[in-house]
Amino acid sequence: MPRNVLLINGHPDPRPERYCAALCNAYRNGASEAGHTVHEIAIGTLNPLGDASDDDESVREAHRALCRADRLVLVFPLWLDQAPVVLRQFFARMVSFSYANCPAPNLPIRPESIRTVVTMDMPAFAHRAAVRTAGLAAPHDQRVVVPGLTLASPTFIGSVRHIPQERRLQWIEDLHTCGLRAA
Q: Mean pLDDT over residues 20-44, rounded? A: 96
**CATH, residue 79:** 3.40.50.360
Are 115 and 126 in contact by the 8 Å Cβ rule? The answer is no
* Cα–Cα distance measured from residue 137 to residue 150, given in angstroms and rounded to the nearest whole number: 15
This prediction has a pTM of 0.84
pLDDT of residue 143: 44
pLDDT tens-place string over residues 15-31: 999 999 999 999 999 99
Under 8 Å between Cβ of 63 and 97: yes
Report helix, strand or coil for 69: coil
**pLDDT, greater one: 26 or 58:** 26
Alpha-carbon distance 3 to 182, whole Å?
A: 7
Res 142: pLDDT? 38
- What is the rounded average pLDDT of the residues 51-61? 67
> How does pLDDT run across 93-119, given as a tens digit for each residue?
888 877 776 656 556 666 568 899 999
The tally of domains found in the chain comes to 1
- The confidence score (pLDDT) of residue 139 equals 42
- pLDDT one-digit tens code per residue, 113-169: 889 999 998 777 776 666 655 555 444 433 455 777 767 678 889 888 899 999 999
pLDDT value at position 92? 85
Range of the domain at 151: 4-181
The SS3 assignment for 6 reads strand
**pLDDT above 70: residue 38:** yes
